[in-house]
């Protein structure tokens, strides 16, 4: 019962009507955001906090109640003098947001409702790199369907699906322009996933995995709210989500953040992108596995693809047991992490570099080497005051970020949530 995903820009007719619709959408969003941030409160408190007239707030509230985005929650006594006031709160238990991540060796799913309750959260080992776009999208479609059914059974209809992929994404058209480690070129992921979902008709958006994970970190991670931060995915590929002055840096075509392909060693090995000596050939999970446990390296014919967490758990066990080859490999990867990090600090001067994926799992072993190398190489030296910090979002960070984006779309434009259809009477 959701959506007209695209905004009402073309509706309305006269410029005045369009202006009025847009103002109303902005005000609805303002009220919803206030409720999201402050919990249950009264209409007059909302009016005071937002600067809107009391009558305007009451009027907006009628529409938000009608769309079942808010609910009356009894009486607000907080600090009240005189008669108690009726309070309202975000409702949203029936509105869902589904985040998916398709990565080289897994699919992650994260489904939440508008109230922030997690309804689905899991990861499945899947050899996307070896499966090609068609099989991968079929699998992604099946996973999405299952998640939608689970969410619907829990009472929340997904209002949108966000998909994270490790590559260059044309966000406006939902097309994966190039994903080096999947070997995908110009795959219209949003359109194909939508058609795989058939009559479910949930709008699909697509974005780069590191960008989405960075947004999740900025919203609710270990360094949440840090205006200047870099997030690094520690997967087979390494991507960066760069937040500058509180905003995600996208660049002219949306292709920024491809830090895994910084050429750090001209005489180095071949990268998934076809070039040589890219940063991810030094610090990507495949590079570490190759150095630490060559017998279990990634590659064709290496059998069923284990979940990255299993691979990293093996490495952690070897480290704890003092295995020399593994200790040397992890220290080496840590130093390369610091070297690449120093380039990012020289460019963006972030306060923190949040590391996800396997970098976070092996943080105790890797980050001391990375931090020392960073401080040695950054031109500002200790004055740059940048720390590596391990994310606690795990390998599913990007799927969480993808769900977040859907939630933000709803909060930014509550009119995209359709009013429930009235029950037919007498037919
Ligand atoms: Zn590369």
Please, are residues 412 and 377 in contact by the beta-carbon 8 Å criterion? no
Token representation of residue 81: 């003098």
Ligand 1 centroid vs 30 CA: distance in angstroms?
42
Give 34 Cα–ligand 1 centroid separation in angstroms: 43
Q: What is the Å distance from ligand 1's center to 348 Cα?
A: 21
Distance 281 CA to ligand 1 centre (A): 7
- Six-digit token pair at 90? 């975000």
Q: 272 CA distance to ligand 1 centroid (A)? A: 6
C-alpha 72 – ligand 1 centre gap (Å)? 54
Tell me, in angstroms, the distance from the centre of ligand 1 to residue 119's CA: 36
- Cα 178 to ligand 1 centre (Å): 12
Task: Give the up-direction half-sphere exposure of residue 309: CA atoms within 13 A in the CB hemisphere.
Answer: 12
The CA 279 to ligand 1 mean position distance, Å, reads 7
Residue 72, classed as helix, strand or coil, is strand
Ligand 1 geometric centre to CA of 138 (Å): 27
The alpha carbon of 58 and the centre of ligand 1 are apart by a number of angstroms equal to: 55
Q: Give the 3-state secondary structure of residue 386.
A: coil
Digit-by-digit pLDDT tens for the chain (427 residues) are 333 333 333 334 566 776 888 899 999 999 999 998 888 899 999 999 999 999 999 999 999 998 889 988 877 555 555 566 789 988 888 899 999 999 998 999 999 998 889 999 999 999 998 999 999 999 999 999 999 999 999 999 999 999 999 999 999 999 999 999 899 999 999 999 999 998 888 999 999 999 999 999 998 899 999 999 999 999 888 999 999 999 999 999 889 999 999 999 999 999 989 999 999 999 999 999 999 988 877 776 555 677 888 889 999 999 999 999 999 999 999 999 999 999 999 999 999 999 999 999 999 999 999 999 999 999 998 878 999 999 999 888 999 999 999 998 999 988 887 666 555 554 4
**SS3 readout for 121-145:** EEEEECCHHHHHHHHHHHHHHHHHH
With tokens 């975000």, the residue in question is 90
CB atoms within 10 A of CB 195: 11
For tokens 């780069």, name the residue.
Answer: 208
The span from the CA of 357 to the CA of 390, in Å, is 9
Question: Which of 243, 190, 229 shows the shortest CA–CA distance to 355?
Answer: 229
> What is the signed CA dihedral for 299, 305, 311, 312, rounded to 10 degrees?
90
- In the structure encoding, which two tokens stand for residue 416, read together? 């995209």
Residues lining ion ligand 1 (Cβ < 5 A) are: 261, 271, 273, 275, 278
What gap in Å lies between CA 243 and CA 256, rounded to an integer? 11
CA–CA gap between residue 426 and residue 20 (Å, rounded): 37
Helix (H) or strand (E) holding 366: helix 363-377
Answer whether 3's CB lies under 8 Å from 159's CB: yes
Taking the centre of ligand 1 as the mean of its atom positions, its distance from the CA of residue 208, in whole angstroms, is 16
Q: From the CA of 259, how far away is ligand 1's center (Å)? A: 9
Query: From ligand 1's centre to the CA of 215, what distance in Å?
Result: 24
């Amino acid at each position: 019962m959701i959506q007209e995903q695209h905004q009402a820009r073309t509706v309305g007719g006269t410029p005045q009507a369009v202006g009025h619709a847009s103002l109303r959408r902005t005000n609805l969003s303002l009220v919803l955001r206030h409720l999201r941030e402050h919990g249950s409160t009264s209409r007059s408190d909302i009016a005071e906090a937002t600067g809107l007239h009391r009558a305007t707030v009451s009027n907006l509230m009628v529409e938000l109640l009608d769309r079942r985005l808010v609910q009356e929650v009894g009486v607000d006594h907080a600090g009240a003098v005189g008669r108690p006031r009726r309070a309202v709160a975000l409702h949203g238990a029936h509105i869902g947001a589904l985040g998916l991540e398709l990565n080289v060796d897994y699919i992650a799913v994260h489904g939440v409702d508008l109230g922030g309750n997690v309804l689905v959260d899991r990861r499945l080992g899947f050899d996307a790199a070896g499966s090609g776009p068609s099989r991968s999208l079929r699998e992604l479609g099946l996973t999405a369907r299952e998640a939608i059914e689970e969410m619907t059974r829990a009472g929340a209809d997904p209002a949108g699906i966000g998909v994270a992929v490790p590559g260059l994404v044309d966000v406006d058209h939902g097309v994966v322009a190039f994903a080096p480690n999947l070997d995908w070129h110009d795959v219209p992921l949003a359109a194909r996933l939508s058609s795989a979902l058939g009559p479910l008709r949930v709008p699909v958006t697509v974005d780069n995995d590191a960008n989405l994970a960075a947004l999740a970190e900025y919203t609710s991670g270990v360094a949440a709210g840090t205006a200047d931060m870099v997030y690094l995915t520690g997967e087979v590929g390494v991507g960066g989500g760069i937040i500058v002055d509180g905003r995600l840096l996208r660049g002219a075509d949306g292709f920024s953040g491809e830090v895994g392909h910084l050429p750090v060693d001209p005489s180095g090995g071949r990268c998934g992108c076809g070039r040589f000596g890219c940063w991810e050939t030094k610090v990507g999970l495949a590079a570490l596995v190759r150095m630490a446990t060559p017998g279990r390296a990634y590659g064709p014919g290496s059998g069923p693809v284990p979940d990255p967490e299993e691979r990293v758990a093996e490495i952690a066990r070897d480290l704890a047991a003092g295995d020399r080859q593994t200790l040397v490999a992890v220290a080496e990867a840590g130093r390369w992490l610091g070297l690449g990090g120093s380039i990012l600090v020289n460019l963006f001067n972030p306060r923190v570099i949040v590391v996800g994926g396997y970098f976070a799992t092996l943080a105790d072993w890797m980050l001391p080497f990375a931090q020392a190398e960073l401080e040695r190489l950054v031109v500002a030296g200790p004055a740059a005051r940048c720390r590596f910090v391990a994310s606690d979002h795990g390998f599913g960070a990007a799927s969480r970020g993808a769900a977040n984006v859907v939630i933000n779309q709803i909060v930014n434009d509550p009119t995209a949530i359709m009013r429930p259809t009235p029950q037919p009477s007498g037919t």
